[in-house]
Amino acid sequence: STANAPEDDAPNRYSRTERTTYSRYSREANSSGSSLPSNTLEKRIEELERELAKERQENARLMKVAQDKEELIGKLKEEIDLLNR
């Protein structure tokens, strides 16, 4: 169950990151009278959201690979124990 703990926390962590990123861009646009048009910032946000989605997919894939390898290690250890007996 401890192997799944980071995975369970992932949605909360990403949600905070997204909110922080969006809030930062919103504040910059509003407070500085931004030299960049809002549509440029919106495009940048969309680009970053797409990049984040790709990174989430890669992270999920790597977590699955790691979990599969941990399971294989456990099975192999059991087999070694049986062979040693």
Residue from 8, 76, 21 nearest 50 by CA: 21
Tens digits of residue pLDDT in 52-69 = 999 999 999 999 999 999
The pLDDT assigned to 69 comes to: 98
Task: Report pTM.
Answer: 0.52
Give me the tens of pLDDT residue by residue for the chain, a chain 85 residues long. Answer: 445 445 455 555 555 555 555 565 555 555 555 567 889 999 999 999 999 999 999 999 999 999 999 999 999 999 999 999 9
The pLDDT assigned to 37 comes to: 84
Using alpha carbons, list the distances in angstroms from residue 80 to 67, 71, 75, 83.
Answer: 20, 14, 9, 5
